[in-house]
Amino acid sequence: MENKIESLKSQPIALVTGANQGVGFQIAKELAANGYTVYVGSRNLSNGEKAAAEIGVNAHAIQLDVTKQATIEAAIERIGKEAGRLDLLVNNAGIAHAGKPGRTVEEVMESGRAVNVSLDEVRTVWETNVFGVIAVTQAALPLLRKSSAARIVNVSSGLGSLTWISDPECWARQHFGIVYAASKTALNAVTLAFALELEKENIKVNTTSPGYTATALNNFQGTDSLGVGSREPVRVALETDGPTGTFTGPEGPMPW
C-alpha cells in the first residue's frame, strides 16, 4: 500500500470525469500512457473498474457522479488521501439528452426544439453539463492548489459557439438547441469565469471541442474515431505551460 502511495506521489495526478467510455476513456488512456496516474471517474463503479483494468496499472477507478455532491466530495477526499494533490482535472462527463438511450441525433434534435422542449429535460442536461462542472471544479480546487502546474480542461463542443451559430452560413446552426448546445455555450462561459478567477493563482482553465466523434452520446453517428476526438483535449491537458482561457478544437482556436 505504501509503495502504491509513493508512486502516486511521484507521478502527475489526473482526474477525468465520465472516463468509463467514449472520449473520456480515451483521454484517460492517453494520459496514463504519458506517465500520469489517472483516476477514472465513473458514475457506475464497476464500469470504471473495467475501464481502468483495460488502461493498465496507472489507472484507478473512482466512483463519481457529477450531479451527486456526496460522490464528488468522497472522490476528492480519496484522491487527497492517496495522492495529496491534483495536477489535472478533465471535466469530460456529459449527456446529450435525458430520454431513452440509443435515440438518433435527429430524434434528439426534434424533441429538443426551443419551442417545445420539456424544461425538465433542459434541467437534467444542464445539471450534468454545466452545474456538474462547477461542482467538481470547486470541490477539486483545494487539491489543485497543491500542484505546481494545475490545469483544468473542460470538454465542450463547437455547437456551443455563439459565433458559429449566429453565422447564417454555418453548418452548426441547424443543430443549435436549448438542451445540449446551449449547455455547452454555458459551459464555455463557466470556463472563462473560472479562468479569470484562477489566473492569479496560475491555475489554467481551458475548454476544448473533440469534434464529431463516434460515441454513445450521438448514437455512434459521429464521424471521427476516439483517437481523433481525444487529440485536442489531451494536447491541452498535457500542456503544463500553455495559455489559460482558450477554446480550441481539432482544427485549432474556436470562436466563442
Ligand X SMILES: NC(=O)c1ccc[n+]([C@@H]2O[C@H](COP(=O)([O-])OP(=O)(O)OC[C@H]3O[C@@H](n4cnc5c(N)ncnc54)[C@H](OP(=O)(O)O)[C@@H]3O)[C@@H](O)[C@H]2O)c1
Residues known to be catalytic: 180, 184
Angle between helices 45-55 and 22-33 (to 10 degrees): 40
Exactly one of 32, 155, 181, 182 binds ligand X (CB under 6 A); that residue is: 155
For cell 495536477, the residue is 87
In Å, what is the CA distance from 228 to each residue of 22, 90, 210, 248? 12, 17, 8, 14
Select 55 or 155, whichever has its Cβ closest to ligand X: 155
Q: Should residue 164 be labelled a site residue for ligand X when binding is judged by CB under 6 A?
A: no
Angle between helices 69-83 and 132-144 (to 10 degrees): 20
* Contact region with ligand X (CB under 6 A), list: 53-61, 62-70, 75-83, 108-116: 62-70
Select 135 or 198, whichever has its Cβ closest to ligand X: 135
Q: How far apart are alpha carbons 134 and 94 in whole angstroms?
A: 13
Q: Should residue 254 be labelled a site residue for ligand X when binding is judged by CB under 6 A?
A: no
Exactly one of 92, 191, 246, 248 binds ligand X (CB under 6 A); that residue is: 92
Taking the complex as a whole, the smallest distance from the CB of residue 64 to ligand X amounts, in Å, to 6
Q: Should residue 94 be labelled a site residue for ligand X when binding is judged by CB under 6 A?
A: yes
Backbone angles phi, psi at 153, to 5 degrees: -120, 120
Exactly one of 12, 112, 177, 222 binds ligand X (CB under 6 A); that residue is: 222
Q: Should residue 212 be labelled a site residue for ligand X when binding is judged by CB under 6 A?
A: yes
Q: Should residue 65 be labelled a site residue for ligand X when binding is judged by CB under 6 A?
A: yes
User: Which strands, in side-by-side order, build the sheet including 247-249?
Assistant: 59-63, 37-42, 13-16, 88-91, 151-155, 204-208, 247-249, 252-253
Select 35 or 227, whichever has its Cβ closest to ligand X: 227
Q: Should residue 209 be labelled a site residue for ligand X when binding is judged by CB under 6 A?
A: yes
> Where along the sequence are the contacts to ligand X (CB under 6 A)?
17-18, 20-24, 43-44, 47, 64-67, 92-95, 128, 132, 155, 157, 209-210, 212-213, 215-218, 222
